[in-house]
Chains A and B, each alone.
Chain A
């Protein structure tokens, strides 16, 4: 299997996760290089969100290793992982509706070591999302869908992430807002933040990313440089409007890159 050239910031090795007796991830291995955007695509229920939740630590893997910047963090609770500057912008945003926008953002810098730079980072986030600044005293529950997604992105950025986990940032948004959100993602990339992106909007995801993994029913079935995946027959047929086939019909674990 080809090693990506720059040093990996995150590596998953043979990760297995279960909900109670139901196993959902069956040995996920993937690698995210510093400065890259890597995406995970795949159908509903494939295990993408589960993977990100295992990385941030709210789910405990039953097997496998999670190596962040050279150290295995699989045994650490979430608050000790977040201290190492990984942030998750979760599917469904998960803001605190009864707290102000500013309190929501500030909570993104909750670990004590992050707090001295809260004011500075708030300014940075407000610079990127002026609309949040206008509404900073409003309750987050009163924001529109697009603004809530901005707030969730902003909260993630407050942790000065070395690695940002983005789960379906455009889910449920009107097409015009989807554009806007992905422009923000592009801007975050320009700041040099490494991103692991899960997106239903596969066209977008593969255009914004350098490398991609295709996940189906808890397995990585395909991986490769994003432009190659865009042209891959299986991806074309299953996800990009080609005739939809049974996902299982394609040989599993075949890398698209030689």
Chain B
């Protein structure tokens, strides 16, 4: 492998990491605040893909712009779903079977709505940008992937700023780290949970719309990405944006560089293998490693 090949792979991995981070961070905030493993995340990613598809087909809206519009749209969807369904779940400081079943059921419902409306044919969004390339000397970058990365990185940056600088963000971090402490200083945990759920679903919608520009999709879209999101979350821990970004980068690097060693047909197994390895070797994820080192120091 030449150095240029290596650089090309590295850049490809970095660009992939951006979208991986956006698709995982929504699950992370929802889990952090509500201790719900949102299996329906995959369903909302699928809906995000069709959201961009419909806007592109009907209104010729740029899919990247559609992805940004997906944020407010899916935020409202998330708030509504929370109000209708999620808030009735028993409160708990750990994941409950009820919440798993509810979210799994919701995923199935979303999938079936997808089949009902769009059937099971593969769709894709082909825009003028799809095949355009950027040449930087010997390095070749897909301009679409570059744009998707910029959009994804922008979303992550906005989230990080919102979490660290705003009162809402502080209340989210407070509930994640110590729910009881949040309640005794006057955080309305019901309201924060509702807004957080909206935010998590909004990120699912944005991720789905962005992914739809890169891959073809059907109503089962999201399933392989859900598994990847699990790997990223297990790697990066459930408490921070930077942890998610790190987990996303690691998975993207492993997936991208594995093409050198693993036949393409085994690709889907990579993330699963990584999940098993991490669970066995590093059950606390990277964050756990950090914490251990801090305790030893």
Query: Interface of A with B (CB < 8 Å)?
Result: 56-58, 77-79, 82-83, 87-88, 90, 94-99, 103, 106-108, 110-112, 115, 155, 159
Contacts and interface: CB of A to CB of B under 8 A. Distances in A.
Contacts of B182: 107
B34 to A, nearest CB: 17
23 contacts: A57-B183, A78-B183, A78-B186, A90-B180, A94-B181, A95-B178, A95-B181, A96-B174, A96-B177, A98-B173, A98-B239, A98-B240, A99-B170, A99-B173, A107-B170, A107-B174, A107-B181, A107-B187, A112-B167, A115-B167, A155-B185, A159-B185, A159-B186
B175 to A, nearest CB: 9
Q: Is the interface of A mostly helix, strand, loop or mixed?
A: loop
B239 A110 contact: no
Contact of B181 (A83, A90, A111, A115): A90
A100 to B, nearest CB: 9
B171 to A, nearest CB: 7
B188 to A, nearest CB: 4
B184 interface: yes
Contacts of A110: 167, 170-171, 185-187
Contact of B186 (A83, A103, A106): A83
Contacts of A106: 170
Contacts of A97: 177
A139 to B, nearest CB: 10
B187 A79 contact: yes
A56 B184 contact: yes
B288 to A, nearest CB: 14
Contacts of B180: 58, 90, 94
B52 to A, nearest CB: 35
Given A94-B184, A107-B170, 13 more contacts: A77-B190, A78-B184, A78-B186, A82-B184, A82-B186, A90-B184, A94-B178, A98-B177, A99-B173, A107-B181, A107-B185, A111-B186, A155-B185
**Which 8 A/B pairs are nearest by Cβ-Cβ distance?**
A82-B186, A94-B181, A96-B177, A79-B186, A79-B188, A111-B186, A110-B186, A88-B184
Q: Is the interface of B mostly helix, strand, loop or mixed?
A: helix
A93 to B, nearest CB: 9
Contacts of A87: 185
**Residue among B170, B178, B185 with the most chain A CB within 10 A?**
B185
Contacts of A88: 184
Contacts of A57: 183
A108 B186 CA distance: 8
A96 B173 contact: yes
B185 A108 contact: yes
Contacts of B184: 56, 58, 78, 82, 88, 90, 94
A103 B170 contact: yes
Contacts of A98: 173, 177, 239-240
B188 A77 contact: yes
A232 B178 CA distance: 40
A96 B183 contact: no
Contacts of B187: 79, 107, 110
B112 to A, nearest CB: 37
A79 B183 contact: yes
A99 B174 CA distance: 8
B182 to A, nearest CB: 8
A96 B182 CA distance: 9
A115 B170 CA distance: 13
A108 B171 CA distance: 11
A95 B173 CA distance: 12
Interface string B153-185: 000000000000001001101100110111111
Contacts of A108: 185
Interface in B214-268: 239-240
Contacts of B167: 110, 112, 115
A3 B184 CA distance: 30
